Structure 1
């Protein structure tokens, strides 16, 4: 009997590991330009047959991707590279003499801000990356996967777009030269690298042997030599020593995150699903496993408060997996906490007590460390969490519904950046700021025109009325008096009664209809 029980437990464990791996596999393929659309579709649907389509299964994220990608493939399901689309549109524009005239016929209508609805709240739109100019912390750049790159020079009071003139708006990250604020690099998700020598106001493509279909996740400019730049990408790490004229691929392992050791740029850390260290400025990398007993989507943080410290956060499927700390520059790590909803340590779930199951760690995951207070670390998944003792214990600093008594940023955290006393959060709803270590947050998104619309409907009787449905930012109504946010969650199909414009209809994910 004991043998049978052990066998059944073994089978259950194997099935669980298989289905978790399968989820990560097809999710990663959504970003892989070489993966066939129909193959990804088949694998994902097989996964949903087992796990359903509910919260935390990544069904929403898959359907978003599927909806957009179906128009970017050939008849066999092979993807048309974003770089190819970018170049063909540019060629067409160059051959068309009245481009400037066409541009003047359009006016951006927004929305440029959001207002609370009830429970599920809208926001401006999704932000995947935040970069603060090291020489001027009032200058902040944000990257939106559908809304381009935006910049503020006054700490978020006003924003301006840097990419409205481009034909490709899928921006993944931004890197600012710590020695020269005019040098700004913008990484796209599929169309390569862009460079500006004017603080972002003008951009040119960077070639130098870089693949045209790179999904660039992070850009590091060496503070001791601005000609040395490292790129963390979905296909590995690329390095240049001449400012981007020529590039070398120094690692074939996909990297989510990359950091210099504070004060010593010859030491570089990288994390994909494991941890890697370089002692020659990123020329070679070695996998470090001492003390790290698990693998999974990972991010790293370092702190000038003690250059020897490294923090590594890791997912287990869609839930929180583990948090590790190194106190010897990555020679070895100590596990500080492992994820288990039963113990209240699923920090990537929906619940502020950590006891909820599920999460979306393949989609939303971020971390940063205080630059001045050792062992103060913030992580984000659905909501944000904080530790002040290096990971031994954690407390939720936000809750995804609004209003609440804990704190609020729009849920689904993609970016965390800590500069001085300012803690920035990038989410599906925009950018928020805390100046008290995560005690309180305020949105500084006003002015960002980055909302990603799925659908819109116009009034048959009032030309000024438009109703829209947006990714994770609900349904909104535009009238002659301005915008009205009236429904949260994922806004889908929306329309106005053709016989009575007072009757407005909106829908959310899974087909719920509201009036």
Structure 2
């Protein structure tokens, strides 16, 4: 397999991903696997998903890989997940509503379950011009939501959008019935953009605008902002450049090339506007965005840059860039040499100036920190586990100020929406009612249909019984689920990279610990395990080898030996007619395990003999990953 020599000089997984985006899924995966192998020699998937790497590039890559493996074209490339709904909207001559009469009821939980079991990842907020209790929420994979009571409850507005990735929102401050939504994720491992959609009836319906992208463009929208004195003039910062409309997106023009990660107007001005990207340059316009000039001052650093401004002091600007904070007190004419804020573990996370005190900064990434002295020192004001500090969800994505309220800031994170009182550092969870959880897997009890379990992205494992939801595990990415068909109180669930757990009447045991640890080091991100359909006390789990337990996971035996070309298995199945007939699939050879190497271009099917532990292998020549195995019951 060809490994690009550029890997040695490339500095990030995002860069490698973008340079390989036009290739097929397998090539992208191999390029990224090679990057991690070279950058972190000797580390396995568990080590790259914990400790200092707990929310690093590898975890983001595995989330990307898991999302896209079932969304490929017949040629093995990333599919356009908006295509069907875009056709449904544009072609009114056909009936696309095949399930129009189906009634759907939400079964998932709608309230925060505590610790790190929130509702899901949010990206953006937009506030009503006169009512502080009305605001709109954009979700990473969840659409647009509206609250009229300050976040106590929400209604969905974006279900008719082509797909539900929203990275930025603009609410027309002169006519709040007009809403603009950037259909995009704002992270490299999320879906790219198809452009900006517009509603003129408060979110009741949506239409595409002149700012359109093809999915294959791999463009992402990071930020949108409207000109204060003319809400038809909107600037859009993207990975492709800076776009501008002067007529509410009837038309649009590209006015600057390159990555534009943030753009903001100087407080109190409709003429002075700034933007930054992923270079050390700072750009400023004094004519409302007609022309921009590059500052002679540099704001060095790496990663996504953010602009931080304050209504309290319009001359004050901060630029944040990967643990560095650069300050200007003259509207960007000059910047200082920068302050290292790595003590607050900010990285490329949020930085915001308090609306009550220009010396107070609220910053964060994993946790939230506050500075009372303009960034010279920081104190942690939230924690991700129960303790003395307020507990909120991790991974702060964006921060906002409601112009009508000067005592709080709002945070968008992987659990939902929070507000922080800037005078007391008290947090309020405003997430309840957002139905935006991203599930990897669910299971439904066959003995009690009220029992459902699920594992989701960054919101752990949960289960319901008689309509009430409870956490099975309080953190991490929840993965594969199973429920004993004869006893709804016996449930199995897993974390990423092969940690399989059993819950029986409230007692939780990590049953993968009963397999020798060196045997489970090589595990798929979503490690397969199944219950034998003929005997639910029997479990089969797939790592680099295959293991079977006949006592609900208390002990295991290895039933394969040195399966060829396998690093970490993807799928398992047991024949309902014979428990000894077991099937296993390794897709492509792209795995998490030990970054085993390259060269395999087909999936492999392994079939166990019914008389012994010998396995026969067969190549499956497909360009897409194999997503499921179903065995004829006869």
TM-score (norm 2): 0.69
The 2-side partners of 1:36 and 1:301 are apart by 39
* Partner-residue secondary structure (3-state), 1:128: strand
Higher mean displacement: 192-201 or 143-152: 192-201
- Give the whole-Å Cα distance in 2 for the aligned partners of 1:58 and 1:89: 36
Deviates more, 1:469-478 or 1:58-67: 58-67
| Matched residue, 2:270 | 265
- 1:61 match: secondary structure: helix
What residue in structure 1 maps to residue 66 of structure 2?
Answer: 67
Matching of residues 335-414 of structure 1 within 5 Å? 335-339=337-341, 345=343, 347-348=345-346, 361=348, 365-401=349-385, 403-414=386-397
Matching of residues 13-412 of structure 1 within 5 Å? 21-26=11-16, 34=22, 36-49=24-37, 50-51=39-40, 52=43, 53-55=48-50, 56=53, 57-90=56-89, 95-96=94-95, 101-103=100-102, 105-116=103-114, 121-189=116-184, 190-207=193-210, 210-213=212-215, 214-274=219-279, 275-315=282-322, 320=323, 322-339=324-341, 345=343, 347-348=345-346, 361=348, 365-401=349-385, 403-412=386-395
The answer on whether the counterparts of 2:455 and 2:461 sit within 8 Å (CA) in structure 1 is yes
Q: For 1:290, what is the secondary structure of its paired residue?
A: coil
2-side partners of 1:380 and 1:286: how far apart?
Answer: 31
Q: Which residue number corresponds to residue 600 of structure 2? A: none
> Offset at 1:101?
3.8
Number of the residue aligned with 2:439: 453
Q: 2: distance between equivalents of 1:29 and 1:185?
A: 30
Q: Tell me how far 1:301 sits from its aligned partner.
A: 1.1
CA contact (8 A) 1:179 1:223 kept: no
Whether the 8 Å CA contact 1:133–1:176 is kept in 2: the answer is: yes
Measure, in 1, the Cα distance between the counterparts of 2:442 and 2:267.
48
Alpha-carbon spacing, 1:280–1:454, altered in 2? closer, same or farther (3 Å):
same
Q: How many residues align?
A: 469
The CA deviation at 1:20 is 7.1
The answer for the alignment partner of 2:602 in structure 1 is none
Most deviating of 279-288 and 185-194: 279-288
Deviations 1:24-47 (A, max 9, x none): 4135569x6x46533432222112
Any gaps of 5 or more consecutive residues in structure 2? 1-6, 185-192, 503-634
Deviates more, 1:430-439 or 1:257-266: 430-439
Secondary structure of 1:334's match? Answer: coil
Cα distance in 2, alignment partners of residues 71 and 374 from structure 1? 48
Q: Deviations over 1:101-159 (max 9, x none)?
A: 434x2112231112226xxx210111111222233221111111111111101101110
1:487 aligns to what?
Answer: 473
Contact 1:60 1:509 in 2 (8 A): no
Structure 1 residue 75: deviation in Å?
A: 4.2
Shift in Å at residue 100 of structure 1? 6.9
Deviates further, 160-169 or 226-235: 160-169
Could you say what secondary structure the match of 2:34 adopts? helix
Q: Could you say what secondary structure the match of 1:264 adopts?
A: coil
Shift of 1:183: 1.6
Higher CA-based Rg: 2
Shift of 1:412: 0.5
Q: After alignment, is 145-154 or 389-398 more displaced? A: 389-398
1:359-405 CA deviation, whole Å, 9 max, x = no partner?
Answer: 6x4xxx2222223422322222111122222222222221222x121
Q: Match of 2:169, SS?
A: strand
Using structure 1 for the length normalisation, give the TM-score: 0.85
8 Å Cα contact 1:397/1:439 also seen in 2: yes
Q: State the match for 1:434 in structure 2.
A: 420
CA distance in 2, matches of 1:199, 1:39: 43
1:177·1:223 contact (CA, 8 Å) conserved in 2?
no
Task: Say which is worse superposed, 45-54 or 167-176, in terms of deviation.
Answer: 45-54
**Greater relative CO (CA pairs within 8 A, separation 6+):** 1
Q: Residue by residue, what CA displacement relative to the aligned partner does 1:12-32 show, whole Å, maximum 9, x if unpaired?
A: xxxxx96771334135569x6
Deviations 1:284-329 (A, max 9, x none): 33333515243432111111111111111111xxxx2x11111111
8 Å Cα contact 2:354-2:422 kept in structure 1: no
Change (3 A) 1:406 1:20: farther
CA distance in 2, matches of 1:462, 1:46: 46
Matching residue within 497, 500, 503 for 1:510: 497
Deviations 1:422-470 (A, max 9, x none): 2111111111112244611121111111111110111122222211100
